[in-house]
Structure 1
Amino acid sequence: MPSEIVPKIVKSLADRKDVEPDDLDIVLYDYIDLDALEKLSKHKNSAWKLESELPNHRITVNGNGEIRVDGQIKEIYSSD
């Protein structure tokens, strides 16, 4: 079962940019290895954090389920 993390990151970034997810001008996989992120999000140990610089934005995802865009919590995901 695929995790919900990638769609939630896309939605978080779109919300921050005040656009619909389909209207984003950033292709997430150009900046983040999405397969690696999926695997990391399912890791049993929650002591991890991934930060990525995108044009004009910083995405931070951690093992506690937080997705931050430019330091603001935008979404909570579950690895279950």
Structure 2
Amino acid sequence: MNVFGLQERPKWMKISSLDELKTKVGHVIVMILLVKMFERSKMVTIATGMELLSYSVCILLSSASLYILHYLHKPE
């Protein structure tokens, strides 16, 4: 099937099980939440060290969640 000039689907679009589909949907949800968080963070003014620390912890936890999702989805 020729879709947009491609002969076959890219690897990231191939889904072979329900668990793989749930994992990919989970990745999309996490990415949407992270984008929204960073959009809102542009409006925040950081006045104290505690606010800066809180913002840094938020970024660290976001990065950790992406790493964990990537690590859990490694092909076998």
Structure 2 length-normalised TM: 0.25
Q: Which has the higher strand share?
A: 1
Pair member with larger Rg? 2
Q: More helix by proportion, 1 or 2?
A: 2
TM (normalized to structure 1)?
0.24
